[in-house]
Chain A
């Protein structure tokens, strides 16, 4: 016994066109559509109705056609802003390095007799021999870079970890 061929399947399926909704269904469909639209409108908050009306207004004015120029200008302005921010935020390495070559600690020393509680505390001058200068080789990282707090990777305690 042969199977239904493709043509027969097509014919059988086309019989489904005769499956029709109850009489009057299509006549009432439009009324039902209007009723649902009204219900939906009443359920919407006021701000959404306003937004929709604004959108409709924009579409009628064909705002998207005009919107291409401002959008392009805005894009250019944003790009320029981003680039300028990057330029101004680059660190001034040369200036900072020059400043660091100057003596870091400059204090004045007083003889022991000069120490008195009645006088205000002053800083001690360590003299030119004790003035520490910062050598170029001591710069291990970029001068203007913000301080980095790197935790040491070695263990704080050398006691063996308990393993259970």
Chain B
């Protein structure tokens, strides 16, 4: 996933800081889909994601005057989103239910999906809904911090360096969390391979 141009963001931030609320609206429109994906894949719940995302933008708007441009707006807003989501997940604990969005029809034409169905028998045999359920189950078995890294790296396609800036941890920590999470996912999805249709 391509990172947006930071000079364009910088201008919008400056205009917002000067009191032009419409400039912040442009930032909201620009970042909503990206941040939706991040928060949704960490919570696996559409309603929680919607509420959290509203809070994230509200907090960003309130504290935009404190943004001095030491990092890019992209990193800054992602940090707010990840931290707020991690805090929310801590409070939510294990009492939650999955509220998943539907996979859009374009998945059937996705190159990687076609590759997987061609090479992997469990993926070929499972229907799309079951595959989605299994993936989300496996994701929810990870710890919140590991899920955050997996979401940013595998789903959002962010590089290690960017993730380390957002989480304010070293790149080594990001890599080790990713390694551990991948091992866990391999184990969880192995059951799916052995028993594709439950």
* Distance, CA A150 to CA B135, complexed state (A): 73
CB < 8 Å: which of A1, A20, A30 contacts B104? A20
Known: A8-B120, A14-B155, A56-B65. A19 touches B132 (CB 8 A): yes
Provide the main secondary structure of the chain A interface. helix
Q: Could you tell me the distance between the alpha carbons of A59 and B54 in the complex, rounded to whole angstroms? A: 24
Q: Which of A21-29, A78-86, A112-120, A152-160 contacts B (4 or more CB under 8 A)?
A: A21-29
B194 touches A9 (CB 8 A): no
Interface residue tally for chain A (C-beta within 8 Å): 32
B97 at the interface (CB under 8 A from A): no
Q: Are A19 and B54 in contact (CB under 8 A)?
A: no
Contact of A4 among B40, B66, B131, B186 (CB under 8 A): B186
Q: Is A37 an interface residue (CB 8 A)?
A: yes
- Which residues from chain A contact B17 at a C-beta distance below 8 Å? 59-60
Inter-chain contact total with CB atoms closer than 8 Å:
114
Any A CB within 8 A of the CB of B197? no
List chain B residues, Cβ under 8 A from A136.
none
Is B57 in contact with chain A by the CB < 8 A criterion? yes
Contact partner of A18 (CB less than 8 A), chosen from B50, B103, B123, B182, is B103
B140 at the interface (CB under 8 A from A): no
CA distance A56 to B18 in the complex (A): 10
Contact call B36/A1, Cβ cutoff below 8 A: no
Q: CA A34 – CA B184 in complex, angstroms?
A: 41
Residues B155 and A13 in contact, CB atoms below 8 Å apart? yes
Query: For the complex, is A92 an interface residue (Cβ under 8 Å from B)?
Result: no
Q: Indicate whether B25 reaches chain A with its CB closer than 8 angstroms.
A: yes
* Cβ–Cβ contact B101 & A15, under 8 A: no
CB within 8 A of B135: which of A15, A22, A33, A55?
A15
Q: Is A11 at the interface (CB under 8 A from chain B)?
A: yes
Contacts of B165 in A (CB 8 A): none
Please state if A15 and B103 are interface contacts (CB–CB under 8 Å). yes
Query: Is A147's CB within 8 Å of the partner chain B?
Result: no
Tell me which residues across on chain B come within 8 A of A55, comparing CB atoms: 65
* Nearest CB in chain B: distance from A39 CB, A: 11
Which single member of B28, B135, B193 contacts A16 (CB below 8 Å)?
A: B135
Alpha-carbon separation in the docked complex, A12 to B17 (Å): 41
Decide if B43 is an interface residue (CB 8 Å cutoff). Answer: no
- Contact partner, A11, options B19, B58, B66, B112, Cβ 8 Å: B112
In this assembly, does B33 line the interface, its C-beta being within 8 Å of a C-beta of chain A? yes
Interface residue ranges, B against A (CB under 8 Å): 17-19, 25, 28-29, 32-33, 36-37, 40-41, 46, 50, 53-54, 57-58, 61, 65-66, 100-104, 106-107, 110, 112-113, 115-116, 120, 123, 131-132, 135-136, 139, 150, 154-155, 157, 182, 185-187, 189-190, 193-194
| 27 A-B pairs with C-beta separation under 8 A | A3-B189, A3-B190, A4-B186, A4-B193, A9-B154, A9-B182, A11-B115, A12-B116, A14-B112, A14-B155, A14-B157, A15-B107, A15-B131, A15-B132, A16-B41, A16-B155, A17-B155, A18-B106, A19-B40, A20-B104, A21-B50, A22-B101, A26-B32, A30-B28, A37-B58, A40-B58, A59-B65
Known: A4-B120, A15-B107, A21-B46. 12 other contacts (CB 8 A): A3-B190, A12-B123, A14-B157, A15-B103, A15-B116, A19-B41, A20-B104, A26-B33, A29-B32, A30-B32, A59-B17, A59-B66
